[in-house]
Amino acid sequence: MLNPKQKLNPDIGTNDIETKATRDGFGEALLELGAKDENIVALTGDLAESTRVLPFAEKYPERFIECGVAEQNMMGVAAGLALAGKIPFAASYATFSPGRNWDQLRVSVCYSEANVKVIGAHTGVSVGPDGATHQALEDIAITRVLPNLTVIQPCDSIEAAKATTAIAHLKGPHYLRLTREKTPLITTTDSPFTIGKANILKEGKDVVLIGCGPLLYNGIKAAIELEKENIHVLVINLHTIKPLDEETIIWAAKLTGAVVTLEEHQIHGGMGSAVAECLATNYPVPQEFVGMNDSFGESGTPEELWEKYGMGVESIKQTIKKVINRKVKK
Amino acid sequence: MGKLSSTELQLTANSIRQNIIKMLVEAGSGHSAGPLDMADVFTALYFDVMNIDPHKPDWQERDWLILSCGHICPVLYATLAERGYFPVSELKTLRKLGTRLQGHPHNLSLPGIETTSGPLSQGSSQAVGVALAFRMNKQKNRVYLVMSDGEQQEGQTWEAVMLAGKEKLHNLTAIIDRNNIQIDGYTEDVMPLDDLRAKYEAFNWHVLEVDGHNISAIINAYHEAEAIYEKPTVIIAHTIPGKGVEFMEGKYEWHGKPPKPDEAKIALQELRTLQGKIKSEHE
């Protein structure tokens, strides 16, 4: 049922699936990159531990810049480092970076084509108890609108590590969207990962579920459960939100005739909107959106928040059924 | 290029001022006061202080000039052209469709432009980043940051100043165009900035103050900055906005507008008269 070519974790759907946070995958990959390339530099704004740049900072103190609680400066300093030939990874919570320093990202990094890697940690309501102020739900919208910027959200820790390595080797501005909680390992080290190329995680012909980030695991669970109801869901991991893999999205829309998008982000302006923009101009089909519907989050556990805000497995199943009912009957 | 004499430097600044007027009147928009008042500082930097090669703008060992207050770019463009980075004739394309001389400087548009600026104070952080990179690479290049006084009101300026002080970036020398004006009025009315010296000293910077129209004094200040190894240096350059054009001098109304053709004619006449005076004083 799952796409064998993707070499996904065989424990998917079981209760003993291993979990790990995407931020950990990033931190480990950054440490490895540090050993291979002395141009790799890390910056943070007083969040070295929770963004997981701390191991790099301890091993390579001469290539680590603690900017203090000053994200606008951090982004500009990263731009300067990049223009002088360094490969800076600037890490903070996404609400602060790219949230608080968007103008610096726009001009000093994107318009200047500075080779800066922006690491936005703690995205989505799954940040949990810290509450709405720290739950980034708008960062995809404000990054994907910027020319020259590649936007990526890995679905698990392993993919986060691959993405970190990949963006280090690609010139130009990149935004990597990370999450706080330990989440299931959907992929394995053998799974394919190419920036800009969406992955088909599960075959299906009735509807396509396009998701990004660890929330995809809820989507996979929903799809597996729907098989029992004879609903066959095609599941796509759209880890690269920009540039968009239009070819795969259009192919999936043609095959299934109905789309559900799934993201831990505002539905307005997010990944789902990117998919809708693509399909509206190429192959319009009914589409439903799972994500935050124009509201802020609150304190709670990740599971409670997913349930409350319509991103739980049941909600995803209901949304899939809803879009199937909207399909144009042939 | 050998060192220019004091008279040659003054004549260069005068020529840059004339070109600023010519390009602004042709563009029909842009800023007048700041570019005119910084002509002496830019002359000092590009014709004496900086280690550069106009024929090799990407030369690894060059010093970097980072213009944070991007809106005064006419003085940067006119100086680069005067120094031979590109033909003086291209100055007339300022702000026009397809030009390399964008309304605010863009690093990818024109050789010699190191960074992009416009939204104020972004250059201060960029300069800190470049200076840090040079230190990591053990490169001897120096970073020359140019700021306006108005942009000292931006929080980002002080974030950058704080980090430069913490990191003791002695390869970074900033200069502030202390012309006391900004778009909405006089700086001390809009948002008081004094005591700038005390503020920078409190952030662990070495502070110098100069007459921003005395080119020799500006050059000397830069030499002193090079000798300071413990901290970054800021030079507060006291300037007269619109310097060299009497009807613009000291008036904040000329911060953000260009001269009209008849005004440009008067301005150019004044500058040519001044040019004659500089020459005759030398003879």
Domain count for chain B, please give it.
Answer: 1
Asked if A67 lies within 8 A of B131 by C-beta distance, the reply is no
**B171 in reach of chain A (CB within 8 A):** no
CA distance from start to end of chain B: 23
Q: What is the pLDDT of residue A330?
A: 57
Asked if B132 lies within 8 A of A65 by C-beta distance, the reply is yes
Q: Is the pLDDT of residue B117 over 70?
A: yes
In the residue annotation, A304 being an active-site residue is answered as no
Chain B residues touching A73 at Cβ < 8 A: 124-125, 128, 156, 159-160, 162-163
For residues A210 and A241, is the Cβ–Cβ distance under 8 A? no
H and E: helices and strands count for chain B: 10, 7
At the topology level of CATH, where does A4-16+190-326 sit?
Rossmann fold (3.40.50)
Chain A residues touching B162 at Cβ < 8 A: 68, 70, 73
Chain B residues touching A107 at Cβ < 8 A: 116-119, 122
Could you tell me the two tokens for A139?
A: 């960062």
Q: Which residue of B has its CA nearest to A43?
A: B129
Mean pLDDT of B25-44: 97
pLDDT tens per residue across span B60-83: 999 999 999 999 999 999 999 999
Q: What are the b/e assignments for A208-219, b being 16+ CB within 10 Å?
A: bbbbbbbbbbbb
Whether the link from the prior residue into A55 is cis, omega within 30° of 0, is no
B254, part of any domain: yes
Q: Which residue of A has its CA nearest to B60?
A: A84
The residue assigned the tokens 């939204």 is B119
Distance from the A78 Cα atom to the nearest Cα atom in chain B, whole angstroms: 6
CA distance B6 to B216: 7
Closest CA to A63 of A27, A38, A92, A84: A38
Domain ranges of chain A: 4-16+190-326, 19-184
Could you tell me the two tokens for A160?
A: 């986060």
Asked if A84 lies within 8 A of B130 by C-beta distance, the reply is yes
B contact test, residue of A41, A60, A64, A83 with most B CBs within 10 A = A83
CA distance B84 to A240: 44
B1, part of any domain: no
Cβ-Cβ contacts under 8 Å between A and B: the total is 109
Q: What is the pLDDT of residue B245?
A: 97
B236, part of any domain: yes
Q: Which of A18, A28, A58, A71 is catalytic?
A: A71
Mean pLDDT of B229-246: 97
Mean pLDDT of B252-267: 97
Q: What is the CATH number of domain A19-184?
A: 3.40.50.970
Put simply, whether the predicted model's pTM sits higher than 0.95 gets the answer yes
Distance from the B274 Cα atom to the nearest Cα atom in chain A, whole angstroms: 39
CATH value at residue B139:
3.40.50.970
Same fold for the pair A4-16+190-326 and A19-184: yes
Closest CA to A178 of A278, A90, A59: A90
pLDDT tens per residue across span A168-194: 999 999 999 999 999 999 999 999 999
Chain B residues touching A34 at Cβ < 8 A: none
CA distance B272 to B274: 5
| Cβ neighbour number for residue B86 with a 10 Å cutoff | 18
ipTM for the predicted complex comes to 0.97
Q: What is the DSSP string of A270-318?
A: SHHHHHHHHHHHH----EEEEEE-S----SS-HHHHHHHTT-SHHHHHH
- Interface residues of A toward B, Cβ cutoff 8 Å, are 41, 62-63, 65, 67-68, 70, 72-86, 88, 103-104, 107-108, 111-113
pLDDT tens per residue across span A239-264: 999 999 999 999 999 999 999 999 99
Identify the H or E element spanning A59: helix A54-59
B15, part of any domain: yes
**B153 in reach of chain A (CB within 8 A):** no
Distance from the A32 Cα atom to the nearest Cα atom in chain B, whole angstroms: 19
Q: What is the pLDDT of residue B165?
A: 98
Torsion of CA B66, B70, B75, B80, to 10 degrees: 50
